[in-house]
Amino acid sequence: MMNRTFWAGFGMAVIVILLPVLFLIDARSSVDRRSPARSEETSAAPAPLPAAPAVSLPPLPEGRPPALSPPPSAPVSPAPMASLSPREMEHPEIVFSPERIRRSLARDPRRRAPARRPFREHSGIRTIVYDPAHVTTVRTAVSHVTLIDLPEEAKEVYLGDAKLFQAEVFGSRVKVKPITWDPSTTTNMIVYTLHRQFAFRLRVVPEGEEDDLLTFYLPSSETVVNLTPLRQKMEKDLALREQDDLRKKALETLRTAGASEPVGVWSEKDGIRAEFLGFSSLGKDRYALFEVTNGTNHPVRLSGIRLRLFRSSLFWEGRREWIDGEDWSRGFRLEVPARGRSRALLPADPPPLASSREGYLAELRVEGEPGGRQIFRLEARGGRR
């Protein structure tokens, strides 16, 4: 019984050991039975790579240790992996050699350095001197804002096309931003301040070429005299002078033409005659017209005129009651030459006389030789001619 168990175990061990050996021998024999051409191709050794040419170095001077430097490698023209022959493709040691991998990587376009764009210096900040006759071009870009600083506060902003650009005002600063991607888009913008106007032409440019900040300065300095109010004042003064000249001419015409509402009372002393001619109108203004005739050989001067409206008393005809508010007076320096005459206009607008109890009393002060100062009283009553 013991012998049977021993021999059974021994046989199993032999089988376990011999089966792998027989399988290996069968595999080797199948490889040896390949065709001779195939065997020659697989047994061919890989072609050796060209060796680097030897470089002869000049001898070093004695007493110095030699400096080790690697010899220069021969230039190798890169060759793509597709240029391998079918025979070389059968050998992994050729296909995946380090030299072949380096050549392939060198020809890979993904490993090339990106081409650099030509450098062009661009500054998005500009300083501009204000010129009312110049149109400033503003370069804007999408997703970028351009600020325009003006020398004074902006009041109004007008855009040629508000669908293409956006403009906002913050005091003296204007913010401009395009809302279109079309690079051929352009429009204009007008900005009005208190005393000036600014004209702009808006364009859309590629990113990196836009204007970030535009600052405007006045031509000479920051304290430039604004000529617009001065010009307006000069024009206004000129218009007033022209109007005054026209009025003076009209008054002169009115003075020489005579009274349109005659009164016709007069008084004479020492060769000097004073006369209340009547009333004349110029537009809405009404004037009392007086005339002084100098019959002496000495010039005299009319220094003042006073005109009052009165009513006579019902019982005493010689008593006058002066009407409140119906009193006009003015000082003059009107020269009356010898043997000459002059007329004067007194701004006055008394109502017409309604009855014989109402009247005008004019007092004229005349100064000069021979009688010194004289006062001429001229009385006119209603209902009398």
Between 65-79, 89-103, 239-253, 320-334, the lowest mean confidence (pLDDT) is in 65-79
3-state secondary structure of 359: strand
Whole-angstrom CA distances from 31 to 24, 39, 90 are 11, 9, 16
Contacts 24+ apart (CB under 8 A), 204-210: 204/140, 204/141, 204/142, 204/178, 204/180, 205/139, 205/140, 205/141, 206/141, 207/141, 207/142, 207/143, 207/144, 208/122, 208/141, 209/122, 209/139, 209/141, 210/124, 210/139, 210/140, 210/141, 210/144, 210/146
Beta bridge partners of 80: none
pLDDT band at 153 (very low <50, low <70, confident <90, very high): very high
Given a contact cutoff of 8 angstroms between Cβ atoms, the answer to whether 42 and 90 are in contact is: yes
* Position with higher pLDDT, 16 vs 214: 214
d(CA 201, CA 277) in angstroms, rounded, equals: 71
**pLDDT recorded at residue 176:** 95
**CA distance readout (Å), 253 to 40, 159, 287, 309:** 140, 56, 13, 27
Mean pLDDT check: name the lowest of 54-58, 148-152, 229-233.
Answer: 54-58
Can you tell me the mean pLDDT for 180-194? 90
Dihedral over Cα of 193, 198, 199, 202: its sign: negative
- Separation of alpha carbons 165 and 188, rounded Å: 10
Q: How many CB atoms lie within 10 A of CB 289?
A: 23
> pTM above the 0.85 mark?
no
Between 173 and 22, whose confidence is greater? Answer: 173
Q: Quick check: 64 pLDDT over 60?
A: no
Higher pLDDT, 308 or 83: 308
Report pLDDT digits (tens) over 267-290.
998 889 999 999 999 888 899 999
Q: What is the pLDDT of residue 258?
A: 82
- State how far the Cα of 49 lies from the Cα of 102, in Å rounded to an integer: 14
How far apart are the C-alpha atoms of 141 and 176, rounded to whole Å? Answer: 10
pLDDT score for 365: 94
Q: Are 47 and 66 in contact (CB under 8 A)?
A: no
The pLDDT score that the predictor gives to residue 149 is 94
Q: How far is CA 346 from CA 7, 91, 250, 365, 382, in A?
A: 169, 133, 15, 13, 20
- pLDDT higher at 1 or 267: 267
Structural contact between residues 115 and 180, judged by C-beta atoms closer than 8 angstroms: no
Enumerate helices (H) and strands (E) in the chain, giving the number of each.
6, 17
**What pLDDT sits at residue 37?**
45
- Please say if the pLDDT value at position 76 is more than 50: no
Mean pLDDT of 31-60: 49
Query: For 277-330, what is each residue's pLDDT tens digit?
Result: 999 998 888 999 999 999 999 999 999 999 999 988 777 666 788 888 889 999
Q: What are the pLDDT digits (tens) for 100-145?
A: 777 776 776 655 555 555 545 567 899 999 998 999 999 999 989 9
pLDDT reported for residue 146: 95
For the chain, give the mean pLDDT: 79
User: Which comes out higher in pLDDT, residue 251 or 4?
Assistant: 251
Please give the average per-residue pLDDT across 62-82, as a whole number: 49
Position 52 scores a pLDDT of 47
